[in-house]
Structure 1
Amino acid sequence: MAFDPRNNSLNLIRLVLALLVLVSHTFPIAGWGDGPMYADENLGGWAVIGFFVLSGYLIMGSRVRTDAGTYLMHRVARIFPAFLVCLVVTALAFAPIGYWRLNGTLSGFLTTANTPANYVFANSFLRMSDYSVAGTPGAVPYPGAWNGSLWSLYFEFLCYIVVGLLAFVPLVRRSAWGIAVAFVLSVVAQIRVGDVVALFGGNGEIPLLAKLLPYFLGGALLYMLKDRIRFSAPFGLLAAGVSFATISLVPSWGGQLVAPLVAYALLWVSLVLPAPRVILRNDVSYGAYIYAFPVQQMVVIFGGHTLGLVPYVLICTAFTAVLATASWLLVERPVMRRVRRGTPSPAPTAAQAAVTPG
């Protein structure tokens, strides 16, 4: 069967990936170690990779259907408003409570070295430069970081830019060869990441971009091949098996090499996995991703982690669900609707809601 952009459970899969990030972060935030690992990557890291391969498929579709200006406007509208609101909520809601619990007063909260205002301003362009606010969170197992999940959004947006620029090349828009070449080069860059980092003067962001870009381009490549491939259970299981084996054998770059197969497996699952109607109509995965970490820190501040792993996860999931739903209903969906009304676009698909929750 072909991939049906109107009838799939991608919203559910992305929500599950966001919740896997929450579970993964539970261990360091509560002081219980690194948590489950596979091929030198924790559970949250693999969830982020899942977001990137799916996003690559969906965002490539968005780019080839729209002009560069509309594409960029949609991508900015999808990722920035909810992100900026999250920064403000962290600075003006979570952090004051954390500061009061730590110091017994709010005196000095607005004038500390890393002020709430500077937390919002310094991080407002996605590149996280300070994860703390007014010295909080403190006296917790994982101090100094209110939202360790937000780092991936910067790299997600860099991938948007890469695909946006590649699509200016006529070959990229007309056939799969252009993206195939870009994908192969990105895998080579990951294999030779030390040499690539040296070319950029040791820039610490390059290893992360080299790691994540092949996953995004692997998903993009699968989109460009969509008219030639069909999804079925035998091939879906085969793709998953080959991916697992390759990653196990070559953990340093095997995942990047099989990124198109990972995308195939996830998309196949989205076609056969049923999803509740409310999830089909509402994508709360981004909100879950960006609010889970501060919620988890706040629950720890009030001692919720002492109840044990399962109660702690359930409490954090419940509060995160409330904030994620509010983010979708009050920020994300209204902004995207307004942007779509103001720009001509083809029939809406799952790509219009795609973003890494990472």
Structure 2
Amino acid sequence: MVSTVDAGVRMHVKPARQDYIATLDLLRLAAALAVVIFHYFFRGAASGALAEAYPLAAPFALYGYLGVNLFFLISGFVIAWSAEGRDWEQFAMARCVRLYPGFLACMTITFIVILAVGEPLFSTSFAQYAANLSMFAPAFGQSFMDGVYWSIVLELVFYGWVTLALFTGMLQKRKLELIFIWLAISALNEFFVGSRAIRLLFITEFGPFFAAGVVVHHIHAHGRSLSALLLLAASFLLSCSTISVTRDWMLNEYGIAVSQPHLVIANFAMHAMLIGGVLLRSRIGPPGLTLALGGLTYPLYLLHQNIGYLAINAAAPLVGKWTAALGCVALMLFASWVIWRHFERPVQRALKTWLGRAVEVTLARFRRASTDAQPAE
């Protein structure tokens, strides 16, 4: 999920190294649309959420869930770049500003729609809404307002580890060593231990995708080295194995899944797209358009599934299933752009100013208290 969340991939680093990679925004849009196609043309009917099936599109739409893996690859790259040159509190504040306004808007809209017209397909409650405000609804005994939110939790766990690594100085000094340890934990858990707690805490199923993105950024920013190239190869090889976990789940759930050889090919293509996007960063424009396309991907990802199912079911008997599904894709793109342009960006600017001042005041008080507590010489 997005990264499912780094729309408008502007890199906030030291002034001499600021940049904008438009190709990553286009990749993020492709990843988001892949997930939308997966839900509308395969999973919707397979799960019983859609009344109409799309047998002609389903064999191709089946691959669309891999858009989440591509999001995680991109997220690893962008977060590594975003963290470079920042203090831990600056990074944490930037991630909060980036994630929460769009999440709040889309989750609230989903809640209102389900509350109004969701029955009998979906139901909700104010208790569920309150739990979802935390972004960790299952921790409060409630389900996610929309099933796609699971990936946002993994993003938050990743951000938490990056914040800790910045706080301790390990990200600046021992980045590649941390990646090695992370890959080792992932391999041990996925191949031998199988702990669900470790899988969540260390994101061991999807960790190789985040890790590969971080390493690609390291090579991009600091040049090639044998250790970095070996870690990138290890991340890719491990991801070829962990990517099959979802395949096993889909076989049990739907009786069909992408074959293992095709998963490896798709995985190679995703890694190649990330690397190619970085290499071709100066060939894509104009930045205003790509920034908007990247900006709408986060709301699109958060908003499309449950509301889309309800909309397609309502429209299909009137206009036909194909017009309903394709029209819903267009509607979700437009609605996502409106949320990004007229809510997310203004709220982000205001929240960034408010949080910035709050952090400055808090740190100033902490430093003052620390100085006062020191014994006089």
Q: Same fold (TM over 0.5)?
A: yes
| TM-score under structure 1 length normalisation | 0.69
In structure 2, what is the equivalent of residue 47 of structure 1?
67
Counterpart of 1:224 (choices 218, 224, 234) is 218
Q: Deviation digits for residues 239-268 of structure 1, max 9, x if unmatched?
A: xx9999997789659799999766423433
- In 2: Cα distance, 1:85 partner to 1:192 partner: 39
Largest Rg, 1 or 2: 2
Cα distance in 2 for residues equivalent to 1:172 and 1:243: 18
Any unmatched runs of 5+ in structure 1? 104-108, 134-143, 231-240, 345-358
Q: Which amino acid aligns with 1:295?
A: I
| Counterpart residue number, 1:162 | 161
Does residue 335 in structure 1 map to residue 331 in structure 2?
no
Give the structure 1 partner of residue 38 of structure 2: 24
* Counterpart selection for 1:126 from 120, 135, 148: 135
CA contact (8 A) 1:197 1:207 kept: no
- What does residue range 171-186 of structure 1 map to in structure 2 within 5 Å? 171-174=170-173, 178-186=174-182
Q: Is it true that 1:83 corresponds to 2:83 in the alignment?
A: no
Deviations 1:216-247, CA, capped at 9 Å, x for gaps: 122122223323449xxxxxxxxxx9999997
Change (3 A) 1:275 1:9: farther
In 2 relative to 1, CA 153–67 (structure 1 residues): closer, same or farther, beyond 3 Å?
Answer: same
| Residues 307-318 of structure 1 aligned to structure 2 (within 5 Å) | 310-318=322-330
Tell me, in whole angstroms, the C-alpha distance in 2 between the residues paired with 1:220 and 1:66: 16
| Match of residue 149 from structure 1 | 148
Counterpart residue identity of residue 134, structure 2: F
One-letter amino acid of the counterpart of residue 211, structure 2: L
Shift of 1:24: 0.9
Count of residue correspondences: 301
Aligned-pair Cα RMSD in Å: 4.2
Query: What per-residue deviation string (whole Å, max 9, x for no partner) do you get for residues 140-180 of structure 1?
Result: xxxx9862211100001111111111123435214xxx222
Is 1:116 paired with 2:125? yes
What is the rounded CA distance, in whole Å, between the counterparts of 1:204 and 1:37 in structure 2? Answer: 33
Report how far residue 188 of structure 1 moved.
2.7
- 1:269-311 deviation line (CA, Å, top 9, x unaligned): 5544456742335611101111111232112331528967753
Q: Is the 8 A contact 2:208 2:239 kept in 1?
A: no
Q: CA deviation at 1:117?
A: 0.8
State whether structure 2 residue 91 is matched by structure 1 residue 71. yes
> What amino acid is the match of 1:338?
A
Unaligned runs of 5+ in 2: 1-16, 47-52, 225-232, 246-263, 358-377
Could you say if the C-alpha distance between residues 167 and 286 of structure 1 is closer, same or farther in structure 2, counting changes exceeding 3 Å? same
In the superposition, relative to structure 1, how do residues 294 and 303 fare at CA in structure 2: closer, same or farther (>3 Å)?
same
2-structure distance, mates of 1:197, 1:56: 24
Task: Report matched runs for 1:252-271 at 5 Å.
Answer: 252=244, 263-268=274-279, 270-271=281-282
